[in-house]
């Protein structure tokens, strides 16, 4: 029963949606089948515990058909009807959440029924709604095109000898929808080409780019076209001036975009910053931090009211690198409540441990890391790397070596880890252990020999591409060289 398609859909519903579905099932206009009503009422009562304990077939049958011998076929029919009703409910929910769908459906009904007076009033109302809507993103072009197409159909049907602009508007918005959509897809194609090393065939796109380039002033009043064109240039040319130009264009036009439209746009800017940071351009640390702050302020980074644990970690890591200590402590504590309950405690402890490491409160780091659950490989790797750095800074050589040995075995056993990740952590532990050994013997080794060992280690670190926490490691080696006068 856990794999049943009805249960699968119901698990995706929120509490309010589940309540509305039960009410929907009891509406005689949509459903008169009492068995379906009883089934959805029961599932609504046990929601969200739609597990085997509450949804096992025999248990459900006993609830729905008390005193009868179990008949799986009878139960299956109820589930089929309930599934179809739930699909209908989702369709109506979508129409309720999209007022433009309602406008278009009502207009079509008035036109087909020849209710011309009501049609024109509804058309004026729909047109006014769109004209006063500050949102002018790609979806808005689609709605405007559909409204103009419906109005043009009405004009054709009534065959009046009056002037009508809807045919022209229809093609104006269709052109803009097409151009903006192609530009948005081209941005994604560029990103995927860089990641997956594949080429996309897009024969019309050169003509679209040329059209926008040659008429940029004309398209200045079309925010989706302008913003996605600037993003396309930024991603393709990988030029910092293009980044700031695109970002400034977004800031000017941001109020025209819905929250859903802004999320992928901010993601393109974040990815650009990450690429530059990985190349060693520290300027983009502050840039990505500003992007995170802007998204937090606008609520764009939340999904269904929750903050991803990995967004949480990335924001903390960025703020710590920028030494925004007061800000990050407030963020860790405040946004803990936005984490999903299933991951909240683990994510909070790990990121708080990172904060305590940055503020050199090493006892707190060790205390918190003992409470982090290592079921997720990313936490396991991150926590062990943080523990390694803590042991190094505490000068706990034996503990560091023991951790390095056990971690080496962990890397060998874990066959699911990507090679780049495996090598990055292997190199961090290997070089940190060597740096700790050199430091341990500084007082017993000639300065010249220590300098040679440190120069060799520094050279190996610099020429090795894959090292996690490489900046930290370089800083520690530089500190040792300073102690021996290197």
- Nearest one of 248, 246, 217, 251 to 229, comparing CA atoms: 246
SS3 414: coil
Surface-to-core class of residue 336, CB atoms within 10 Å of its CB (0-12 exposed, 13-18 middle, 19+ buried): middle
- Cα 118 to its chain centre, rounded Å, is 43
Residue 245 pairs in a beta bridge with none
CB 388 within 8 A of CB 432: yes
Residues 6+ apart with CB under 8 A from 291: 266, 269, 270, 273
CB 83 within 8 A of CB 6: yes
As given in the structure block, the two tokens for residue 82 are 């309930």
Please write the tens of the pLDDT for every residue from 290-323: 999 999 999 999 888 899 999 999 999 999 999 9
pLDDT in tens, the chain (486 residues): 557 899 999 999 989 999 999 999 999 999 999 999 999 999 999 999 888 888 888 888 998 999 899 899 999 999 999 999 999 999 888 877 677 787 888 899 998 898 988 998 999 888 888 888 888 889 889 999 999 999 888 888 776 556 678 889 999 999 999 999 999 998 988 888 776 666 777 778 888 989 999 999 999 999 999 999 999 999 988 789 999 999 999 999 999 999 989 999 999 999 999 888 877 788 999 999 999 999 999 999 988 889 999 999 999 999 999 999 999 999 999 999 999 988 899 899 999 999 999 999 999 999 998 887 767 788 888 899 999 999 999 999 999 999 999 998 888 888 767 777 888 999 999 999 999 999 999 988 888 999 999 999 999 999 988 888 888 999 999 999 998 875
Q: Is the dihedral of CA 400, 406, 411, 416 positive or negative?
A: negative
Q: Among all chains, which residue has been given the structure tokens 């190996």?
A: 460
Residues 348, 69: Cα–Cα separation, whole Å: 51
As given in the structure block, the two tokens for residue 404 are 């390095």
SS3 162: coil
Residues 56, 432: Cα–Cα separation, whole Å: 54
**What are the helix (H) ranges across 279-418?**
283-298, 309-321, 325-334, 344-358, 362-369, 377-393, 397-413
SS3 311: helix
- Contacts of residues 185-193 at CB distance under 8 Å and 24 or more positions apart, as own/partner, are 186/228, 186/232, 187/228, 187/231, 187/232, 187/235, 187/268, 190/232, 190/235, 190/236, 191/235, 191/268, 191/271
Please write the tens of the pLDDT for every residue from 29-63: 999 999 999 999 999 999 998 888 888 888 889 98
Please write the tens of the pLDDT for every residue from 194-216: 766 667 777 788 889 899 999 99
CB 37 within 8 A of CB 64: no
Residues 368, 355: Cα–Cα separation, whole Å: 11
As given in the structure block, the two tokens for residue 198 are 């594949």
- Cα 124 to its chain centre, rounded Å, is 38
- Nearest one of 368, 430, 439, 362 to 394, comparing CA atoms: 362
- What proportions of the chain, in percent to the nearest 5, are helix, strand and coil? 75, 0, 20
């Amino acid at each position: 029963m856990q794999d049943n398609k009805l249960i699968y859909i119901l698990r995706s519903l929120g509490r309010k949606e589940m309540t509305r579905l039960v009410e929907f099932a009891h509406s005689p206009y949509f459903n008169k089948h009492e068995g379906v009503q009883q089934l959805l009422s029961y599932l609504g009562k046990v929601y969200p515990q739609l597990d085997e304990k509450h949804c096992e077939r025999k248990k459900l049958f006993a609830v729905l058909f008390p005193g009868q011998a179990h008949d799986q076929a009878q139960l299956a029919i109820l589930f089929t009807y309930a599934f179809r009703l739930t699909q209908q409910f989702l369709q109506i929910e979508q129409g309720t959440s999209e007022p433009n769908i309602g406008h278009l459906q009502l207009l079509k009904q008035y036109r087909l029924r020849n209710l011309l007076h009501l049609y024109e009033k509804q058309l004026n109302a729909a047109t006014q709604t769109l004209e006063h809507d500050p949102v002018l993103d790609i979806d808005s072009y689609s709605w405007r095109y559909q409204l103009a197409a419906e109005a043009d159909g009405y004009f054709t049907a009534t065959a009046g000898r009056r002037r009508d602009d809807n045919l022209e508007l229809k093609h104006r918005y269709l052109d803009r929808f097409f151009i903006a959509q192609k530009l948005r897809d081209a941005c994604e194609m560029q990103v995927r080409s860089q990641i997956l090393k594949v080429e996309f065939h897009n024969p019309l796109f050169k003509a679209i780019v040329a059209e926008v380039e040659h008429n940029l002033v004309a398209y200045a009043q079309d925010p989706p076209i302008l913003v996605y064109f600037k993003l396309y240039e930024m991603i393709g040319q990988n030029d910092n001036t293009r980044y700031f130009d695109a970002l400034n264009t977004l800031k000017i036009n941001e109020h025209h975009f819905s929250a859903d439209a802004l999320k992928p746009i901010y993601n393109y800017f974040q990815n650009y910053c990450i690429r530059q940071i990985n190349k060693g351009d520290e300027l983009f640390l502050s840039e990505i931090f500003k992007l995170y702050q802007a998204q937090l302020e606008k609520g764009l980074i939340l999904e269904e009211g929750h903050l991803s644990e990995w967004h949480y970690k990335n924001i903390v890591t960025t703020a710590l690198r920028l030494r925004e200590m007061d800000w990050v402590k407030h963020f860790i504590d405040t946004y803990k409540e936005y984490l999903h309950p299933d991951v909240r405690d683990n994510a909070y402890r790990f990121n708080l441990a990172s904060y305590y490491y940055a503020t050199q409160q090493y006892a707190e780091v060790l205390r918190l890391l003992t409470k982090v659950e290592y079921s997720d490989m990313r936490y396991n790797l991150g926590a062990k790397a943080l523990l390694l750095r803590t042991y190094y800074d505490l000068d706990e050589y034996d503990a560091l070596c023991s951790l390095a040995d056990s971690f080496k075995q962990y890397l060998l056993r874990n066959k699911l880890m990507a090679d780049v990740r495996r090598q990055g952590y292997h190199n961090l532990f290997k070089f940190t252990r060597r740096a700790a050994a050199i430091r341990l013997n500084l007082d017993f080794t000639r300065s010249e020999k220590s300098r040679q060992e440190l120069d060799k280690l520094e050279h190996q670190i610099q020429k090795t591409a894959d090292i996690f926490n490489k900046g930290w490691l370089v800083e520690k080696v530089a500190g040792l060289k300073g102690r021996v006068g290197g």
